[in-house]
Amino acid sequence: MDLRHLRYFVAVAEEENIGRAAARLHISQPPLTRQIQQLEEELGVTLFIRTPRGMELTQAGELFLAEARNIRALVEQATERTQRAGQGKLGRLDVGIFGSAILDAIPKLLLSFRNRYPDVKVVLHTMTKAEQLEALRQRRITVGFNRMLSPLDDIGVRQVSTEGLLVAVQADHPLAHQPVVRFAELAEHPMILFPTGARPSFIDKVIGWATESGFQPHISQEVGDAVTGVALVASGFGVCLVPDSATTLQFPGVVYRTLTDTPPNFFVDLSCIYRKDDQSPLLAAFMETVDAFRAGERKR
């Protein structure tokens, strides 16, 4: 049996007349007669009663008509859904993120992606940079977000956004009384750095900037992410360099100050990584959204 048989059968059942059905199907009458005969023979069931006025469904034919219509509708739906999936408009996208990325870029980006592809289910997984790489290779995620990424043999990188840096200080800290803080002033104060884990990371960047500005930072504590860092600032552990977006964290007892006299390249970038050999249309669709987002960010 064939989908053609179903199509022909439904036409004949609806027209109750082989000639008219053949016309509707744009074929001639005899082949249609034969196809119906074949179908009946294959099923071993008489589907039509031949009357002088045309074809009339038997009970079994009536039942088969319902089934045939259903199957044809499902085939239709299957192709349509598969095509949508093939265009990246339907499916599931697993995304690896790190703790504080959630603060700024990611929500906006995901919002924009959701608008374009409402039928794609996005699942977020919080994981470190190393975990992201492993998960990417094992295909547990399709993209990962992180900072300080460099391309690898099998992993591509796309920059998402660039952020300036602020310093988070306790509200009653001496630096909090100044409108702005010179970068070099930070030499005087214990610093909280993040993230722990795989180096090189943001920590090394901060140390590099300090060196360029002629001081060795006094590290009071290393923490996992910006959120924890700011929490420790509130508790008086020291000051903490954080990306712009961290200001979303309105911690009681913590204020943010802009920095002046900063070293060159005083910013951090957020990038996303993906498998270079991933041809998935979902990834392509997501990357397109990332590029659009980045273009929008740059303009601002």
Partner DNA sequence: CCTGCTCAATACCTCCAAGGTATGATCCTT
Partner DNA sequence: AAGGATCATACCTTGGAGGTATTGAGCAGG
The residues binding DNA (CB under 7 A) are 2, 4, 16-19, 26-31, 33-38, 50-55
Q: Which of 175, 148, 167 is nearest to 159 (CA)?
A: 148
Name which of 64 and 98 has its Cβ closer to a second copy: 64
Q: How far is the CB of 47 from a second copy (least distance, A)?
A: 8
Site string for a second copy, 230-269 (x = CB under 8 A): ----------------------------------------
Single out the residue of 82, 126, 235, 260 in contact with a second copy (rule: CB under 8 A).
82
For a second copy, the binding residue among 153, 214, 279, 298 (CB under 8 A) is 279
Q: Which is nearer to a second copy, 7 or 114 (CB)?
A: 7
Contacts of 28 (CB under 8 A, 6+ apart): 22
- Annotate 109-136 with b (16+ C-beta within 10 A) or e (fewer): bbeebeeebeebeeebeebbbebbbebb
* Chosen from a second copy, DNA, none, partner binding at 149 (C-beta under 5 to 8 Å by type): none
**Rounded to the nearest 5 degrees, what angle is found at the Cα of 193, between the Cα atoms of 188 and 194?**
170
**CA 20 – CA 8 distance, rounded (Å):** 11
Count CA atoms within 13 Å of residue 200 on its CB side: 8
Closest distance of CB 277 from a second copy, Å: 9
Q: Are 224 and 232 in contact (CB under 8 A)?
A: no
Helix (H) or strand (E) holding 94: strand 91-97
Nearer to a second copy by C-beta: 108 or 275? Answer: 275
Least gap, CB of 278 to a second copy (angstroms): 9
Q: Which of residues 90-109 bind a second copy (CB under 8 A)?
A: 90-92
3-class secondary-structure state, position 77: helix
Q: Choose among DNA, a second copy, none what residue 279 binds, the Cβ cut-off being 5 to 8 Å by kind.
A: a second copy
Q: Is 130 in the site for a second copy (CB under 8 A)?
A: no
- Smallest separation, CB 26 to DNA (Å): 6
- Could you tell me which of 264, 267, 273 has the C-alpha nearest to residue 150? 273
Q: What are phi and psi of 156, to 5 degrees?
A: -95, 160
Q: Which of 41, 44, 52, 138 binds a second copy (CB under 8 A)?
A: 44
Instruction: Please name the residues in contact with 262: beta carbons below 8 A apart, sequence gap of 6 or more.
Output: 165, 183, 209
Rounded least distance, CB 49 to DNA, Å: 10
Q: Which residues bind a second copy (CB under 8 A)?
A: 1-4, 43-47, 49, 58-60, 63-64, 67-68, 70-71, 74-75, 77-79, 81-83, 85-87, 90-92, 279-282
